[in-house]
Amino acid sequence: MIERGSRTVLASSETEPSIRRFRRFDGRQIGELDVPSRFRVAPEGEAASNATFESLTATPDGRTLYAGMEGPLAADGADAEGRGLNRILRYYGRSGRTYVPTSQLAYRTDADLGLVELVALGDGQLLALERGWTAGFGNTVRIYRVNAAGATDVTGIESLQSVTDPGTFVAKELVVDLVTCPPSGATAKQPQPNPLLDNVEAMELGRRLGGDRYDLFLLSDDNSNPTQITRLYRLSVRISD
């Protein structure tokens, strides 16, 4: 993630996890943000390997940073319907300078899906990309509008399993389910409910097209796997103010 108005990049890793700052012109690491201990991969913490900071985004003013967990902590797990009880860390600071973790938000994924990307729109509004894969069926890729304004800070809640008020989880509204989009001549190398679908895990909001419509760009990763495809998507989506 390029930090707005600066010459630095923030990069998250889902293996420790970590959020590191690098200089853009030579790639040299010049800093690292604090990560609460329970978000470390087990046995140091409660996170599962390859299911931590898959997403990282900053608000347009550069003051708030969101790092989303792809999967839940061990203490949080999933609900009875298989929906992941994930956490999003919210940092506060300034672009190119220090960010400190200030709160944690509760995010409930769809059943068997992970939270793989976030885009901050400002005023506590986010786009969230959820993705999953099922052998013999293929991928599921859904994008939600998320309202984190005034969201409950769940830092002090040991397990999200204990939450009884559904309002504790940030509200989300479906923007697009990629399976409903026209294939537009796309092909797939493995079973898919729509040949457009693949391992989508990157997202960025583009220019305003007029009214409440925007370009939205997605990118899939083939994981160096011959049955997957690296593909750039350009969608037109409606995002109201």
pLDDT tens for each residue of 140-163:
999 999 999 999 999 999 999 999
Q: What is the number of structural domains in the chain?
A: 1
Domain that holds residue 31: 8-238
- Which one has a higher pLDDT value, 241 or 155? 155
Task: Report the distance separating Cα 9 and Cα 58, nearest Å.
Answer: 12
Backbone angles phi, psi at 81, to 5 degrees: -95, 5
On whether residue 38 sits in a domain, the answer given is yes
On whether residue 72 sits in a domain, the answer given is yes
On whether residue 23 sits in a domain, the answer given is yes
On whether residue 164 sits in a domain, the answer given is yes
On whether residue 231 sits in a domain, the answer given is yes
On whether residue 1 sits in a domain, the answer given is no
Task: Report the distance separating Cα 175 and Cα 157, nearest Å.
Answer: 30
Q: What is the structure's pLDDT at 122? A: 87
Q: What is the structure's pLDDT at 207? A: 95
| pTM of the entire predicted model | 0.96
Longest dimension (CA), the chain: 50
On whether residue 2 sits in a domain, the answer given is no
Split at pLDDT 50, 70, 90, the class of 240 is: confident
* C-alpha dist (Å) from residue 135 to 66, 84, 121, 132, 182: 31, 19, 34, 10, 23
Sign for the pseudo-dihedral over CA of 130, 131, 132, 136: positive
On whether residue 140 sits in a domain, the answer given is yes
